[in-house]
């Protein structure tokens, strides 16, 4: 077996194991850290696919950004300073139904798609092409995404100023 | 790149990958000793003098040997796996980032195109490992330290990235090797080296912002809130002992070196000699590179023994209402400069 | 805007001034004394470890009385008439055996008060400050140079002599009493009993003063 294949299976195993642990863990902080392992595993898989930029983005945005936000959210809530946040399962039946449907759909798509297998060709410069595509063909979605984020930021600022103004009135 | 590497002799890969490790370890021993000496000299003391003869040079080795013998204490209520794992993850993150640092004109761990971007991405894992350590210790000081450090690093990542971007705007490449190569030669005013810090005034501003943010990112005074001894005992390291604690120390010093080297690469011409072609072989380039990085490290130590610590709100104020707007304005100005000239 | 630039300028200026100060100290000389290798010069009047030149001590207890924390313990035994303890170097005659002269340096607070009252200047401070011990009883310094056997002997002798003197004194008292009786018999004055008692005690006192 080639080293790449071994690495692929290793990282897939890490990703899947961490994801399973995340779902089944009773402690929400443990789940969050398991999510971290899963995300890092996915990043490693991206690297194996020559998508180095995507891998780094995955790390920077998901691990370095969103996961930290999740942890902040968990820890700064009133229960956050104790060890015992237990997760409880709600909506067991609809949730399993939904995930089962999703799984069926995914497997169906996987089986029916006519996968094109291309030769492994190491792309020399992913960033350059990506930038060209983003600023050329996909300029509209790029700008829309940017505007969306801007709106989100303005919304957040509005909310916080509104809240602090209310607080001031309360005092 | 990956594919190529996988066909080479594994031992060669290991040796190739271990070069930064050796550099980090030697540097950490020297830096910890140097930190104490600098502290001593600045306070009109001498610092460690006894171990090893000349100016106590073997002090950190003795400390290391002591730390190895220490008991590895894990608190009863700690979350065992995370507690044990955090220091290693932290060191792994800062060590992995060294892969894209061009140590010399002929050595770079991995010459990938996304260089700086990869470095920033990998170092963002540091934050998580600190939260992990802080939370797993099940100790209020640790948790507070971890939270503070996470808030601090997430905030200061923004100006760091913005200032790194200003350089990237100038170079047009994320690869640190290319960035360095673009700075060789002595053309500015006839004698100054072509380093970015001299190239235009906005890059100087960018360097100042960058330096302030890396001080905060590597938890150095005046931004050492995550481990401020007088408030939080030792922050997220409070419950750690022995080798695990040493790993944290190592990772911190490695992080310091990493960011200093990044600064040296981006603004001070990396491994380029300041005298043009004079003294510029592969070995000399390594020498110049380390010299620049260590000088920045020295400045960090110097600042540490000069300035008092900021409060949390001041820290956030500096970041969000001064550094971030400044760095973005600066980014635009640099871009304009590049368009005009 | 101008305000912001001004305050930024002040910030950087103060940081650089501070860093200038620290770098000057960085290159300046250090004040550290490499202790076991180099030692400080102890000033003349430094208060340090106590020493007693036991040969000069006359056992007057003045130092023990002066000590505010009572950490000097002195036991004396009067010398018998057959031995001559000689004189101190200052010329004072010595009349006591010093069976015990202990100073508890753990209790001592280095106030120097015991040094000055000494009539023979034999208790003084020596410039030694390194005498830590693992057991605090080792900090009780014994200055008496008498052997235990000698102590016992001296005590015995002194007791004997004291007993002898007591006897002599009793003898004398008896004689005096007899003489007094005789006188009384001769005089035969009315306030007999009273004067008898008074003279008796008086003579007793004068006896004591002589010895
Ligand atoms: S120095 Fe003071 S405390 Fe010490 S023995 Fe003399 S009188 Fe007592
Ligand atoms: S004052 Fe001097 S002579 Fe008197 S008992 Fe003390 S040491 Fe001896």
Q: Cβ contacts (< 8 Å) between B143 and chain A: which residues?
A: 75, 81
- Tell me which residue has its CA closest to atom 1 in ligand 2: C118
Across the interface, of C15, C26, C31, the residue whose CB is closest to B42 is: C26
> Which of C51, C123, C144 should be mutated for ligand 2, with most atoms under 8 A from CB?
C123
> Could you give the strand order of the β-sheet that contains C140-142, starting from the edge strand earlier in sequence?
C72-78, C96-104, C140-142
Band the pLDDT of C200: cuts 50, 70, 90: very low
- Whether chains A and B touch (3+ CB pairs under 8 A) is answered by yes
- Tell me which residue has its CA closest to atom 8 in ligand 1: C67
Tokens of residue C156, six digits: 């015995």
Q: Name the stretches of chain B with pLDDT < 50.
A: 1-3
Chain B: closest CA distance from residue C11 (Å): 12
Percent of chain A whose predicted confidence (pLDDT) is above 70:
82
Tell me if A65 and B124 make a contact (CB, 8 A cut-off): yes
Task: Give the distance, in angstroms, between the CA of residue B238 and the centroid of all CA atoms in the same chain.
Answer: 22
User: What pLDDT was estimated at residue A107?
Assistant: 93
Across the interface, of C22, C27, C34, the residue whose CB is closest to B305 is: C22
| Contact indicator for B179, B270 with CB cutoff of 8 Å | yes
Distance (angstroms) between ligand 2 centre and the Cα of C116 equals 10
Q: How many CB pairs under 8 A join A and B?
A: 89
- Tell me which residue has its CA closest to atom 2 in ligand 2: C118
- List the subunits that have 3+ CB pairs under 8 angstroms with C: B
pLDDT top residue among B281 and A106:
A106
Across the interface, of A30, A36, A81, the residue whose CB is closest to B128 is: A36
Distance (angstroms) between ligand 2 centre and the Cα of C151 equals 19
User: What pLDDT was estimated at residue C126?
Assistant: 85
pLDDT top residue among A107 and B45:
A107
Record the pTM: 0.75
Chain C: closest CA distance from residue B115 (Å): 32
Q: Cβ contacts (< 8 Å) between B122 and chain A: which residues?
A: 56, 59
Q: What are phi and psi of C72, to 5 degrees?
A: -110, 125
Ligand 2 pocket residues where CB is under 6 Å: C 52, 57-63, 74, 117-120, 122-123
Band the pLDDT of C205: cuts 50, 70, 90: very low
Q: What are phi and psi of B102, to 5 degrees?
A: -80, 100
B39 occurs within a structural domain: no
Establish if C36 touches chain B: CB-CB under 8 angstroms: no
Tell me if C34 and B43 make a contact (CB, 8 A cut-off): no
Domain that holds residue B246: 74-340
Ligand 1 pocket residues where CB is under 6 Å: C 50, 66-67, 69, 71-72, 103, 108-114
Q: Cβ contacts (< 8 Å) between B120 and chain A: which residues?
A: 56, 60
Q: Cβ contacts (< 8 Å) between B174 and chain A: which residues?
A: 127
Q: Cβ contacts (< 8 Å) between C34 and chain B: which residues?
A: 46, 49
The CB-based long-range contact list for B20-25 (8 Å cut-off, 24+ gap) reads B20/B95, B20/B98, B20/B99, B20/B101, B20/B103, B20/B109, B21/B95, B23/B98, B23/B103, B23/B290, B24/B95, B24/B98, B24/B250, B24/B253, B24/B254, B24/B257, B25/B250
User: What pLDDT was estimated at residue A123?
Assistant: 66
β-strands C72-78, B107-108: how paired?
unpaired
Band the pLDDT of A17: cuts 50, 70, 90: very high
Q: Which atom of ligand 1 is nearest to the CA of C107?
A: 3
Q: What is the pLDDT of residues C39-83, one digit of tens each?
A: 888 888 888 888 888 888 888 888 888 899 988 898 888 877 777
Second-level CATH architecture of A1-82: Up-down Bundle (1.20)
Q: Which CATH number fits domain C49-151: 3.40.50.1220, 3.30.413.10, 3.30.70.3270, 3.90.1150.10?
A: 3.30.70.3270
Chain B: closest CA distance from residue A106 (Å): 30
| Contact indicator for B146, B219 with CB cutoff of 8 Å | no
Tell me if B131 and A126 make a contact (CB, 8 A cut-off): no
User: What pLDDT was estimated at residue C192?
Assistant: 52
Q: What is the pLDDT of residues A51-105, one digit of tens each?
A: 788 888 888 888 888 888 888 877 776 555 555 556 667 778 888 899 999 999 9
pLDDT of A162 over the 90 cut: no
Establish if B42 touches chain C: CB-CB under 8 angstroms: yes
User: What pLDDT was estimated at residue A104?
Assistant: 94
User: What pLDDT was estimated at residue B341?
Assistant: 74
- List the subunits that have 3+ CB pairs under 8 angstroms with B: A, C
| Contact indicator for C88, C122 with CB cutoff of 8 Å | yes
The residue of chain B nearest to residue A59, with distances taken between CA atoms, is B121
B116 occurs within a structural domain: yes
| Contact indicator for B135, A29 with CB cutoff of 8 Å | yes
Distance (angstroms) between ligand 2 centre and the Cα of C103 equals 12
Averaged pLDDT, C141-156? 82
User: What pLDDT was estimated at residue B192?
Assistant: 73
Asked whether this complex has an ipTM greater than 0.85, the answer is: no
Tokens of residue B171, six digits: 């170079």
- Tell me which residue has its CA closest to atom 4 in ligand 1: C108
The domain locations on chain A are 1-82, 137-171
- Tell me which residue has its CA closest to atom 5 in ligand 1: C108
pLDDT of A41 over the 50 cut: yes
User: What pLDDT was estimated at residue A1?
Assistant: 59
Distance (angstroms) between ligand 2 centre and the Cα of C138 equals 22
- Tally of CA atoms within 13 A in the half-sphere of C174 that contains its CB: 6
Total domains in the fold of chain B: 1
Establish if B77 touches chain A: CB-CB under 8 angstroms: yes
Distance (angstroms) between ligand 2 centre and the Cα of C115 equals 9
Q: What are phi and psi of B88, to 5 degrees?
A: -70, -40
Rounded CA separation B279/B272 (Å): 9
Band the pLDDT of A148: cuts 50, 70, 90: very high
User: What pLDDT was estimated at residue A144?
Assistant: 94
B34 occurs within a structural domain: no
Tell me if B118 and A40 make a contact (CB, 8 A cut-off): no
Name the residue among C121, C102, C147 with its Cα closest to residue C57.
C121
Rounded CA separation C136/B67 (Å): 33
Band the pLDDT of A146: cuts 50, 70, 90: very high
The domain locations on chain C are 49-151
């Amino acid at each position: 077996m080639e080293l790449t294949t071994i690495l692929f299976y290793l990282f897939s195993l890490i990703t899947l194991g961490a994801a399973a642990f995340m779902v089944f863990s009773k402690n929400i902080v443990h789940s969050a850290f398991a999510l971290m392992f899963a995300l890092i595993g996915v990043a490693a898989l991206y690297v194996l696919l020559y998508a180095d930029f995507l891998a780094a983005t995955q790390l920077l945005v998901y691990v370095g950004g969103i996961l930290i936000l999740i942890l902040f959210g968990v820890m700064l809530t009133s229960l956050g300073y104790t060890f015992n946040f237990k997760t409880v399962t709600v909506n067991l039946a609809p949730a399993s139904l939904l995930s089962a449907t999703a799984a069926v759909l995914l497997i169906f798509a996987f089986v029916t798609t006519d996968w094109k297998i291309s030769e492994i060709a190491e792309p020399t410069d992913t960033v350059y092409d990506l930038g060209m595509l983003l600023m050329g063909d996909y300029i509209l979605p790029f700008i829309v995404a940017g505007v969306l984020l801007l709106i989100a930021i303005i919304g957040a600022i509005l909310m916080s100023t509104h809240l602090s103004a209310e607080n001031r009135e309360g005092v | 790149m990956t594919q190529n590497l996988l066909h080479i002799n594994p031992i060669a890969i290991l040796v190739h990958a271990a070069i930064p490790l050796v550099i980090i370890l030697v540097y950490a021993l020297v830096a910890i000793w140097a930190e104490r000496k600098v502290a001593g000299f600045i306070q009109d003391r001498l610092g460690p003098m006894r171990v090893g003869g000349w100016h106590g040079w073997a002090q950190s080795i003795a400390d290391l040997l002591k730390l190895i013998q220490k008991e590895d204490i894990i608190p009863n209520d700690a979350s065992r796996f995370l507690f044990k794992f955090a220091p290693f993850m932290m060191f792994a993150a800062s060590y992995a980032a060294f892969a894209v640092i061009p140590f010399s004109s002929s050595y770079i761990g991995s010459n990938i195109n996304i260089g700086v971007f990869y470095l920033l991405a990998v170092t963002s894992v540091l934050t998580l490992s600190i939260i992990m350590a802080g939370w797993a210790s099940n100790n209020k000081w640790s948790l507070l330290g971890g939270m503070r450090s996470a808030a601090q690093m997430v905030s200061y990542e923004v100006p760091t990235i913005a200032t790194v971007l200003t350089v990237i705007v100038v170079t047009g490449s994320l690869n640190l090797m290319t960035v360095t190569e673009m700075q060789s030669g002595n053309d500015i005013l006839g004698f100054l080296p072509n380093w970015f810090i001299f190239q235009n005034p906005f890059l100087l501003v960018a360097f100042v912002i960058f330096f302030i943010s890396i001080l905060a990112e590597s938890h150095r005074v005046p931004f050492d809130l995550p481990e401020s001894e007088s408030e939080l005992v030792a922050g997220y390291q409070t419950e750690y002992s022995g080798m695990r604690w040493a790993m944290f120390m190592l990772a911190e010093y490695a992080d310091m070196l990493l960011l200093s080297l990044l600064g040296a690469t981006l603004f001070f011409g990396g491994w380029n000699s300041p005298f043009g072609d004079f003294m510029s072989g592969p070995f000399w380039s390594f020498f110049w590179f380390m010299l620049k990085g260590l000088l920045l490290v020295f400045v960090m130590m110097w600042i540490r023994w000069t300035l008092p610590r900021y409060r949390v709100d001041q820290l956030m104020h500096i970041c969000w209402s001064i550094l971030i707007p400044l760095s973005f304005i600066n980014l635009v100005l640099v871009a304009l400069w590049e368009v005009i000239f | 805007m101008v305000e912001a630039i001004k305050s930024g300028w002040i910030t950087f200026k103060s940081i650089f001034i501070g860093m200038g100060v620290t770098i000057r100290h960085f290159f300046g000389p250090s004040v550290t004394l490499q202790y076991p290798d180099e030692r400080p010069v102890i000033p003349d009047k430094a208060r340090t470890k106590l020493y007693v030149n036991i040969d000069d001590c006359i056992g007057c207890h003045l130092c023990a009385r002066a000590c505010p924390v009572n950490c000097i313990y002195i036991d004396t035994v009067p010398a018998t008439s057959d031995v001559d303890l000689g004189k101190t170097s200052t010329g004072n005659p010595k009349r006591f055996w010093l069976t015990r002269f202990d100073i508890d340096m753990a209790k001592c607070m280095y106030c120097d008060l015991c040094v000055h009252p000494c009539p023979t200047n034999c208790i003084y401070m020596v410039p030694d400050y390194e005498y830590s011990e693992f057991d605090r009883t080792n900090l009780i310094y014994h200055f008496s140079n008498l052997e235990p056997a000698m102590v016992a002997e001296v005590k015995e002798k002194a007791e004997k002599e004291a007993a002898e003197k007591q006897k002599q004194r009793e003898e004398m008292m008896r004689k005096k009493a007899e003489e007094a009786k005789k006188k009384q018999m001769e005089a035969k004055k009315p306030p007999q009993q009273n004067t008898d008692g008074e003279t008796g005690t008086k003579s007793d006192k004068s006896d004591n003063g002589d010895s």
